Amino acid sequence: MMKHPHQVLHRLQRLHSMKLKEKGISLFHQIIDKEYDCQMEIWYIRWLLKLYVYYFEMTLVKIAALFKIFVLVVLAYKWMIEEWFE
Protein backbone atom coordinates (compact mmCIF):
# COMPACT_ATOMS: atom_id res chain seq x y z
CA MET A 1 0.00 0.00 0.00
CA MET A 2 1.47 3.35 -1.02
CA LYS A 3 1.69 6.02 1.64
CA HIS A 4 1.05 9.67 1.03
CA PRO A 5 4.28 11.76 1.02
CA HIS A 6 2.98 13.87 3.93
CA GLN A 7 2.64 10.72 6.05
CA VAL A 8 6.21 9.74 5.24
CA LEU A 9 7.52 13.25 6.02
CA HIS A 10 5.56 13.38 9.27
CA ARG A 11 7.11 10.04 10.20
CA LEU A 12 10.58 11.44 9.46
CA GLN A 13 9.93 14.55 11.58
CA ARG A 14 9.13 12.35 14.58
CA LEU A 15 12.60 10.79 14.51
CA HIS A 16 14.77 12.52 17.13
CA SER A 17 18.40 11.51 16.85
CA MET A 18 20.59 12.09 13.79
CA LYS A 19 21.14 8.36 13.41
CA LEU A 20 17.42 7.67 13.34
CA LYS A 21 16.92 10.56 10.90
CA GLU A 22 19.51 9.06 8.53
CA LYS A 23 17.75 5.71 8.74
CA GLY A 24 14.44 7.47 8.19
CA ILE A 25 15.75 9.34 5.16
CA SER A 26 17.09 6.11 3.65
CA LEU A 27 13.71 4.53 4.43
CA PHE A 28 12.02 7.47 2.69
CA HIS A 29 14.17 6.92 -0.41
CA GLN A 30 13.41 3.20 -0.35
CA ILE A 31 9.68 3.94 -0.24
CA ILE A 32 9.99 6.42 -3.11
CA ASP A 33 12.06 3.92 -5.13
CA LYS A 34 9.47 1.18 -4.55
CA GLU A 35 6.64 3.47 -5.63
CA TYR A 36 8.64 4.52 -8.70
CA ASP A 37 9.35 0.87 -9.56
CA CYS A 38 5.64 0.06 -9.21
CA GLN A 39 4.71 2.96 -11.49
CA MET A 40 7.29 1.84 -14.06
CA GLU A 41 5.99 -1.75 -13.93
CA ILE A 42 2.41 -0.53 -14.37
CA TRP A 43 3.49 1.68 -17.30
CA TYR A 44 5.41 -1.23 -18.85
CA ILE A 45 2.45 -3.63 -18.47
CA ARG A 46 0.07 -1.06 -19.99
CA TRP A 47 2.49 -0.49 -22.87
CA LEU A 48 2.73 -4.25 -23.52
CA LEU A 49 -1.05 -4.64 -23.41
CA LYS A 50 -1.47 -1.79 -25.92
CA LEU A 51 1.14 -3.42 -28.15
CA TYR A 52 -0.57 -6.82 -27.94
CA VAL A 53 -3.98 -5.30 -28.64
CA TYR A 54 -2.56 -3.39 -31.63
CA TYR A 55 -0.97 -6.53 -33.09
CA PHE A 56 -4.11 -8.57 -32.37
CA GLU A 57 -6.25 -5.99 -34.19
CA MET A 58 -3.77 -5.87 -37.07
CA THR A 59 -3.82 -9.68 -37.22
CA LEU A 60 -7.62 -9.66 -37.40
CA VAL A 61 -7.49 -7.03 -40.15
CA LYS A 62 -4.94 -9.10 -42.06
CA ILE A 63 -7.01 -12.27 -41.66
CA ALA A 64 -10.11 -10.44 -42.88
CA ALA A 65 -8.20 -9.03 -45.86
CA LEU A 66 -6.77 -12.46 -46.73
CA PHE A 67 -10.23 -14.00 -46.44
CA LYS A 68 -11.66 -11.37 -48.83
CA ILE A 69 -8.83 -12.03 -51.29
CA PHE A 70 -9.43 -15.78 -50.99
CA VAL A 71 -13.15 -15.32 -51.68
CA LEU A 72 -12.42 -13.09 -54.69
CA VAL A 73 -9.93 -15.62 -56.08
CA VAL A 74 -12.41 -18.49 -55.62
CA LEU A 75 -15.16 -16.45 -57.32
CA ALA A 76 -12.80 -15.53 -60.16
CA TYR A 77 -11.89 -19.19 -60.72
CA LYS A 78 -15.57 -20.14 -60.55
CA TRP A 79 -16.43 -17.55 -63.20
CA MET A 80 -13.49 -18.65 -65.35
CA ILE A 81 -14.57 -22.32 -65.13
CA GLU A 82 -18.17 -21.36 -65.95
CA GLU A 83 -16.92 -19.43 -69.00
CA TRP A 84 -14.89 -22.42 -70.20
CA PHE A 85 -17.77 -24.88 -69.91
CA GLU A 86 -20.40 -22.76 -71.63
The 3-state secondary structure of the chain reads CCCCHHHHHHHHHCCCCHHHHHHHHHHHHHHHHHHHHHHHHHHHHHHHHHHHHHHHHHHHHHHHHHHHHHHHHHHHHHHHHHHHCC
Average pLDDT over residues 4-33: 60
Tens of pLDDT, residue by residue over 30-80, are 666 666 666 777 777 777 777 777 777 788 888 888 888 888 888 888 888
Domain residue ranges in the chain? 5-84
What pLDDT is stored for residue 29 in this prediction?
66
pTM, whole model, 2 decimals?
0.38
pLDDT of residue 36: 64
pLDDT at 38: 67
- Give me the helix-helix angle, 18-84 and 5-13, nearest 10°: 160
